[in-house]
A and B are shown apart, each in its own frame.
Chain A
Amino acid sequence: MSTVGRDVRHGLGIARIELRRSWRKSVATRRQRLVLLGVLLVFAPMGFFWVSLAHEAGREAAKTGSISLDVLGGQLVLLAVAFVVMSAMRIVQMGRPEGDALLLTATSPRAVLLGLLLHSTLQWVAFLLIPITSLAAGFGLGAGTPVVVAATLIAIFPLLAATTAFGTVLGQLFVLGSLQSRLVRRASQLLGVVLLIVLMGLSYAVFAPDTVGSILPERFSPATVPLGEYVDFLFVGTPFAPSLTATNYLVGGVVIASVPLSFVVADRLAPRLWFADATSSDLLQRDRSAVAEETPDGSVRTSDKSVATRFPPLKRIPSLGIASILWIRWLRVPVRFSPLVFVVVAGIFGLFGAVDDPTSLPWVGGFLGVLAGIYASGAIFGLNPIGDAGDMGIVETLSAMPVRDRVLGHVFAGLWFGVPLTVSGGTLLAWTAGATLVETTVVVVLATVAAVASAGVAVAIGTIFPTLGSTRSYRGYEVATPSQWALVSQTFGTMVLTGIAVLGGASVLFGTELGVDHDRYPVHVVGPILAVCVLVVVGVAGIRFATRHFEPPVSRNG
């Protein structure tokens, strides 16, 4: 068998096994299967909504005999960019292409890369199969042209392969750059957050092309990108298909040709990362490998500062010491901030909404600050306190540190992030509402107490739904991110707690405007006090629950 044939065979084998591993990893336990089912059920109504829209669009198209391919083309461009960004992020976050373990076999690096790229592409296909088929089927049924389902599925596969391969190349280039440049290494620590925001913006833009069109100058509009022409292939064989022009064929050709082209480039780059002298975790560590100094006489002198002045920074109060160690660990592996995705999503949607009415910006900004502060106070540090410690949970359990202080450490760590947001957001809201100093103070206190409650609720959720196995690899570090259940529960909890705080705040700010007689019904006093009481009770209950259930993973076996 030729070398190419052998590589293809090996690549297919690797892709097959990787797919099997991914599948088993996703649905290995009953809880995971339930989560999958739960997610499907939660998103089913939204899915039906979009399918009904597609159906309606199909009927409309059948009636008018045409569809707006410009808008669809713009959306396709945005989706393609989003997939490129996600593929690049995958490589950047890992610090190198996966598959190191396969290199010491008889398999060539080219076959490994082929297998992994095929696996990534097929993962996207599997992930998108249901929504794309549903939307195409909805449209096809509405328009009376079921053939659009087949056309869409056939056309989308090369596009996904092209974006995956191209994104991989971009990610590889960035990682190689970070190996060479200190500046790029510094930038890479922020890149994940930046790319995430870009991604969220793109996701929003896909569903709101009109808003995007009104914001961006015309020459930057997605509709003007030639890749938009590719959308015509999705309607080949239907009555709406425009006659394919030379531009269409050129764009289609470029998309298809970019797959092998990107593969060749990735094939050249991958060994540079696989066989680089840097280990995967070395990327983050190059700039702080050692603080040992060489003295003029050639001997090595290491720093030997006292525990009290160096580490942990807040040793005197145990729970604050725990909180400080959590912050240090989190900052060194920033992927742990991933629960902030919710905040980014809410922020982008809110700010996009405010674009149409700039006067609403202070309201939106203030509310987002409060919401983000309440959510983040619990979500970042509280949703997997047991799993995140990993094996070190044993040391912590066997230490002299009381469980209550360890739980409070997670609470305080979250509040250090969340309280500045609730304070600034609450102040902005009160200022926008024209509140007095006292009213502003009450609003800020309410928002802050809600943040405390959120942190308490989160540690309770985290002890109920711990993720005990490491689920994510970030530059060589294994990170146990919170379970989907925990994230969903915290999101729901945040809404409830924010609602309570808003009711308390509204009774202060708008009690008079709502026609309440303050002399007879002092709602502006009772409202916030009641809200604070409820929030405190909820927060304390959460902390107490977590303290009682804060067991190391091993003892659960017993």
Chain B
Amino acid sequence: MNAIETRALTKRFGDVVAVDELTLEIPQGTIYGFLGPNGAGKTTTMRMLTTLLRPTSGTASIVGTPITDREAVTAKLGYLPETPPLYEELTGREQLEYVAFLQDLPNDVAVERIADALDRFDLADAADRPISTYSKGMRQKTGLIQAMLHRPAVLFLDEPTAGLDPRAARTVLDVLADVVSDDATVFLSTHVLSVVDELADRIGVLHQGRLVAEGTPGGLKRRAETGEERTLEQAFLEVTANHGEEEPPTEEQSA
């Protein structure tokens, strides 16, 4: 069963087509890098898949559950938006305990997971300080911990390494690798191509709401005509340059 499946998923805001007939099949246990220029429709796609935005047309499911069934779907997903949603008046520990409470985690499980995560993300010493005193990186890490606290089957991350110093970014990447080894799926939207290059099993490139390329990082980096190697950045710039009206190419076409 695929972790994420969409069929002709479309979102219109008035006359503007934000996402245009997006079709995806993402197997479980993979990291899917979702790339695209600003305004391509990445966040809109993530919001639809996380049930926060209703699609105009098309269907989508998370681990077999249609996104129209919000109650069933939300138990299977975790979501970290670009700005981590946090109550600044609470301390980091209170915030995580509150989210554990919202996710209905048993007390002993919550305490153990929170302590582990705080240690792992180097937040234990700051855990009892108000979040309003946190740096951007600390907020990002707290947001990531809370998104993973209930061990979701699919984790949607919007720019998870934004604002993190290299050490913290490395921690996040290591954690994501661990998450996938537990058979969870990560849907990763980012502009940091090196992150996608390192982590992603598959990459989808969205441009003007349409999927213009999809494949493995290696496949996208190989030039179709000559077989010549190029960087992911070069591949990204190429596929987002002239695909306004074209059909999304398959991995085979790209490679």
Contacts and interface: CB of A to CB of B under 8 A. Distances in A.
B211 to A, nearest CB: 21
A289 B129 contact: yes
A396 B146 CA distance: 11
Interface in B138-160: 146, 150
B133 A307 contact: no
B1 to A, nearest CB: 21
Interface string A3-27: 0000000000000000000000000
Given A307-B107, A394-B81, A477-B132, A329 B125 contact: no
- Secondary structure class of chain B's binding surface, majority of residues: mixed
Contacts of A557: 13, 53
Contacts of B94: 311, 328
A298 interface: no
Interface in B41-71: 47, 50-56
The residue among B89, B124, B128 with the most chain A CB atoms within 10 A of its own CB is B89
B44 to A, nearest CB: 9
Given A391-B83, A398-B50, A554-B52, A477 B89 contact: yes
A558 B75 contact: no
B104 A328 contact: no
Given A281-B132, A292-B128, A394 B79 contact: yes
Interface string A271-315: 000000001011001001111100000001011101110111001
Contacts of A285: 129-130, 132-133
B207 to A, nearest CB: 22
Contacts of A555: 51-54
Contacts of B127: 302
B115 interface: yes
B132 A476 contact: yes
A398 to B, nearest CB: 5
A197 to B, nearest CB: 25
Interface residues of A, number: 45
B235 interface: no
B90 interface: yes
Interface in A410-466: none
Nearest to B89: A332
B97 interface: yes
B85 interface: yes
B241 interface: no
A392 interface: yes
B102 A395 contact: yes
B100 interface: yes
Interface in A376-399: 390-399
A398 B74 CA distance: 5
B130 A392 contact: no
Contacts of A394: 52, 79, 81, 85
A328 B98 CA distance: 12
Interface string B74-102: 11011101011111111001100111111
A308 B107 contact: yes
A332 B125 CA distance: 22
B79 A398 contact: yes
B107 A306 contact: yes
A329 B87 contact: yes
A400 B81 contact: no
Given A306-B111, A328-B90, A395 B146 contact: yes
15 contacts: A302-B128, A306-B111, A307-B101, A312-B98, A328-B94, A390-B85, A394-B52, A395-B102, A395-B146, A397-B74, A399-B102, A401-B102, A477-B88, A554-B52, A558-B11
Interface of A: 279, 281-282, 285, 288-292, 300, 302-304, 306-308, 310-312, 315, 321, 325, 328-329, 332-333, 390-401, 476-477, 552, 554-555, 557-558
Given A307-B111, A397-B74, A558-B54, 9 more contacts: A282-B133, A290-B126, A302-B128, A307-B97, A311-B101, A329-B87, A399-B74, A400-B75, A400-B104
Shortest 6 CB-CB contacts between residues of A and residues of B: A558-B54, A391-B85, A399-B102, A291-B128, A332-B89, A400-B104
